[in-house]
């Protein structure tokens, strides 16, 4: 039987806030604030935080149109470059959500503060180097204090992590399982997302070094195996598309969930692909990513590319309304084959804001497995977050089952 615990943060009932949103005036930050204004329970004690108090107060004025109660929403000043302000922020709340990236530059101070204070932490980082370095530096302390440190609580990587979790539940227990995921979307990205991607592209050696150090540090699984190898490009008969391997953080997150949860079986393997209908488009996408990666190795070129997209900017509401995503999963085990799908609207912004907000509400208020340290969304929140996201409009469905 799994032990559960309600809410978050060891010894944190007396803290003034349930949730603080750090970086609230950024593009995704404001979308997340609007979602919380509309959907947080009336008794949720939440606040917005950032380094510019004037911008925060203007945001609070805009939030009044969403919920008049936001007229008294607390505004907190905190700066990623001021460790003292981050410690005060973490000590005053049960859960922190942060949209301040690139996280490899600006994120560690808040992770450290939350780990020390026993405060739950959730971010939108899709940066593998950051996740690995935070594990190495702060996982042990977070386990001591009871803090749960969750990275990638947006489109990276919740639809993939919970999509595989949902797929595994449709398969037999106690046997080797194989799942492949195929991602499709028509969405655009913001300046902040582009900055994070270019930063990661330009830090290839540091990323590999952090991953190696983590592998040497992490406890090895005993009697079980969980893997996420990079697949080869191929034609997928299951989806009728060209499948291109996606070397994002998503398969790493899935593999860590599989390692943490015995329900994934004694031998689990996940492969992650972009699904592209037309071969010329697939070839063009590979070429574009390759060119961006190459340019990111040249500091001047990387700086020029990043200057083309303004941080805090993103697609307008009309463009986001036309955006969508679909992740199809094919799972196999014990002679059973299942086809599932997770889908929704604009992945990078509207749905990401929704997912981040529902994640911190889940951490603050739901009965959850007792976990601590750096954990994944599937391991920390599982069914509770899945139910929240379905209620919020994301679709998890079983498309077909074959015996």
How do the pLDDT tens digits run along the chain, 403 residues long? 344 555 554 445 689 999 999 999 999 999 999 999 999 999 999 999 999 999 999 999 999 999 999 999 999 999 999 999 999 999 999 999 999 988 999 999 999 999 999 999 999 998 999 999 999 999 999 999 999 999 999 999 999 999 999 999 999 999 999 999 999 988 765 555 555 556 666 678 899 999 999 999 999 999 999 999 998 888 998 889 889 888 889 999 999 999 999 999 999 999 999 898 755 444 445 444 444 444 445 565 445 555 555 555 677 788 888 889 999 999 999 999 999 999 999 998 999 999 999 999 999 999 999 999 999 999 999 999 999 999 999 999 999 999 8
- Spatial separation of the C-alpha atoms in residues 357 and 343, rounded to whole Å: 18
Among residues 392, 395, 389, 289, which one has the least CA distance to residue 340?
395
Look at residue 286 in the predicted model and tell me its pLDDT. 47
Q: Is 3.40.640.10 the CATH classification of the domain at 4-154+351-389? A: no
Look up the pTM and report it. Answer: 0.90
- Strand-strand pairing, 267-276 and 325-333: unpaired
Look at residue 316 in the predicted model and tell me its pLDDT. 79
Instruction: Please state, as a whole number, how many other Cβ atoms lie within 10 Å of the Cβ of residue 81.
Output: 9
Burial class (CB in 10 A: 0-12, 13-18, 19+), 265: buried
What's the number of CA atoms in the CB half-sphere (13 Å) around residue 373? 13
Look at residue 319 in the predicted model and tell me its pLDDT. 84
CATH 3.40.50.720 domain extents, the chain: 4-154+351-389
Q: Tokens 């889940």 map to which residue?
A: 362
Among residues 82, 100, 91, which one has the least CA distance to residue 21?
100
In CATH, what class is 158-346+395-402?
A: alpha beta
Look at residue 42 in the predicted model and tell me its pLDDT. 96
Look at residue 1 in the predicted model and tell me its pLDDT. 33
Asked whether 119 and 93 are in contact (CB, 8 A), the reply is yes
Among residues 342, 326, 330, 319, which one has the least CA distance to residue 394?
342
Look at residue 282 in the predicted model and tell me its pLDDT. 47
Q: Tokens 């001591």 map to which residue?
A: 144
- Spatial separation of the C-alpha atoms in residues 263 and 260, rounded to whole Å: 9
Burial class (CB in 10 A: 0-12, 13-18, 19+), 267: middle
Element (H, E) at 147: none
Asked whether 339 and 328 are in contact (CB, 8 A), the reply is yes
Buried b or exposed e, range 107-138, using 16+ CB within 10 angstroms? bbbbbbbbbbbbbbbbbbbbbbbbbbbbbbeb
Burial class (CB in 10 A: 0-12, 13-18, 19+), 14: exposed
Asked whether 110 and 134 are in contact (CB, 8 A), the reply is no
Look at residue 113 in the predicted model and tell me its pLDDT. 98
Look at residue 296 in the predicted model and tell me its pLDDT. 47
**Tokens standing for residue 321:** 């309304």
CATH 3.30.360 domain extents, the chain: 158-346+395-402
> How far is the CA of 328 from the CAs of 274, 334, 347, 368, 392, in angstroms?
10, 20, 15, 27, 20
Asked whether 320 and 155 are in contact (CB, 8 A), the reply is no
Look at residue 140 in the predicted model and tell me its pLDDT. 98
Q: Who's near 219: CB < 8 A, 6+ residues apart? A: none
Look at residue 307 in the predicted model and tell me its pLDDT. 53
- Spatial separation of the C-alpha atoms in residues 121 and 107, rounded to whole Å: 11
- Spatial separation of the C-alpha atoms in residues 277 and 279, rounded to whole Å: 7
**Tokens standing for residue 174:** 């106690």
Look at residue 322 in the predicted model and tell me its pLDDT. 87
Q: Tokens 């919920």 map to which residue?
A: 67
């Amino acid at each position: 039987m799994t032990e559960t615990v309600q809410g978050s943060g060891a010894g944190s009932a007396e803290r003034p806030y349930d949730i603080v949103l750090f970086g609230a005036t950024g593009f995704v930050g404001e979308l997340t604030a609007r979602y919380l204004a509309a959907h947080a329970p009336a008794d949720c004690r939440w606040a917005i935080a950032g380094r510019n108090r004037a911008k925060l107060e203007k945001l609070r004025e805009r939030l009044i149109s969403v919920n008049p109660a936001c007229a008294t929403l607390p505004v907190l000043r905190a700066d990623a470059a001021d460790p003292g302000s981050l410690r005060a922020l973490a000590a005053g709340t049960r859960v922190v959500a942060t949209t301040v990236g690139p996280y490899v530059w600006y994120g560690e101070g808040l992770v450290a503060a939350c780990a020390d204070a026993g405060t739950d932490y959730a971010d939108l980082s899709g940066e593998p180097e950051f996740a690995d370095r935070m594990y190495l530096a702060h996982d042990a302390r977070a386990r001591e204090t009871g803090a749960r440190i969750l990275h990638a609580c947006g489109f990276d990587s919740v639809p993939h992590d919970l999509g595989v979790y949902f797929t595994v539940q449709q398969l037999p227990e106690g046997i080797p399982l194989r799942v492949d995921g195929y991602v499709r979307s028509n969405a655009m990205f913001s300046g902040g997302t582009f900055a994070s991607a270019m930063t990661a592209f330009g830090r290839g050696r540091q990323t590999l070094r952090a991953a190696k150090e983590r592998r040497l540090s992490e406890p090895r699984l005993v009697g079980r195996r969980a893997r996420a190898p990079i697949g080869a490009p191929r034609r997928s008969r299951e989806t009728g598309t060209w499948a291109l391997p996606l070397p994002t953080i998503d398969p790493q997150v899935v593999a860590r969930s599989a390692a943490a949860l015995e329900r994934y079986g004694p031998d689990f393997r996940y492969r992650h692909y972009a699904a592209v209908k037309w071969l010329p488009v697939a070839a063009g996408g590979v070429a574009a990513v390759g060119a961006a990666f190459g340019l990111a190795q040249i500091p001047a070129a990387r700086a020029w590319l990043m200057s083309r997209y303004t941080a805090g900017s993103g697609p307008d509401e009309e463009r986001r309304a036309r955006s969508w995503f679909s992740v199809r999963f094919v799972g196999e085990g014990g002679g059973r084959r299942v086809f599932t799908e997770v889908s929704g609207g604009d992945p990078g912004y509207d749905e990401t804001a929704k997912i981040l907000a529902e994640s911190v509400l889940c951490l603050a208020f739901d009965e959850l497995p007792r976990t601590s340290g750096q954990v994944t969304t599937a391991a920390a929140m599982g069914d509770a977050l899945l139910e929240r996201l379905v209620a919020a409009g994301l679709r998890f469905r079983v498309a077909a089952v074959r015996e």
